[in-house]
Homo-oligomer: A and B are copies of this chain.
Amino acid sequence: MKDVVAGIDIGGTNTVFGLVEKTGSIIAEDRLMTTDYPEINNYVSALVAAINRLIETKSGIKLAGIGIGAPNANYHRGTIELAPNLAWKGIVPIAEYIRKEIDVPIAITNDAKAAAMGEMIFGGAKEMKNFIVFTLGTGLGSGIVINGRVLYGHTGFAGELGHTIIVPGGRDCGCGRQGCFETYGSASGLVRTVLNLLSEMKEESTLRDIPPSQLTSKKIADAAAKNDPVALEAMDYTAEMLAFGIANAVGFSSPEAVFLFGGLAQAGEVLFGPVREYVDQMVMPIFKGTVKILPSGIPESNAAVLGAAALAWNELK
């Protein structure tokens, strides 16, 4: 019997899960609609049934553990706490609920910490002890690894770099404060920067033809690739703000590498080039040349399941 783990990514809309070997190979995968189950008990039953079905499709395997990535997950307590985008209110002891049905070790963490675990076990950080993964999507998440361990801190919520304030009194943030790193350095921060530049700059731009509600980091990156002046300026400003947040993080934990992951990171060299230059300008002299700025080593399509699976494999070590 070959050991596999289940990697489960719980999102506001979908739950994606797969059976993953120790090598990182996903041997079976499925999904269900999170929104179909407003009652947590029904959700757990459906999820457990679906995982058991996946296992039955394969022979010669044994489930050794379960890893879960979920918003507002508390690793220490095995709970999902006050997650704004999920129907289950309050503090949900989901690890305990699942363990009642499947008796294997279960660990849970948030998506950025799962991404860091995935990078460490299956991705570009296999040989690294100190690194940071930034997930640049609608929000800006961060998973920090120190001495080979994901940083949780006293509360379990450490690593909220997206909500360190980099512009006092700056852009309104969903967390209720202003000027958070997330409002400048995420994919949605890039969109906000374009809107601001469209007000400031007089240059022609194809971005003027897109309704603001339909602007995406992908469309902006495509425009930048065609030398659209507003898109290029927005990329440069976003790179500068990302570098600012990265440089301050380097002064904190002195990582060997910083991985950029998610929608905005797909922009590629038009983003990474200036980020590297700005980071090198902005860090303290003793940190110059000490930190690599890298794209994630995990394919975006598999990242959520692999990150959750990596968490499980790491617990089994």
Contact = CB atoms under 8 A, between A and B. Distances in A.
A154 interface: yes
Contact of A164 (B154, B248, B255): B248
Interface of A is mostly: loop
B253 A160 contact: no
A159 B252 CA distance: 5
Contacts of A43: none
Protomer copies: 2
Contacts of A244: 165, 168
A291 B160 CA distance: 15
Interface stretch (A143-151, A193-201, A205-213): A143-151
A249 interface: yes
Interface string A160-185: 11011101100000011100000000
A97 interface: no
B165 A282 contact: yes
Contacts of A177: 282, 284
A129 interface: yes
A146 B155 contact: no
Contacts of A247: 165
Contacts of A38: none
A216 interface: no
Contacts of A290: 154-155
A129 B147 contact: no
B284 A158 contact: no
Contact of A251 (B146, B163, B282, B284): B163
Interface of A: 129-130, 144, 146-147, 149, 151-161, 163-165, 167-168, 175-177, 244, 247-249, 251-256, 282, 284-287, 290-291
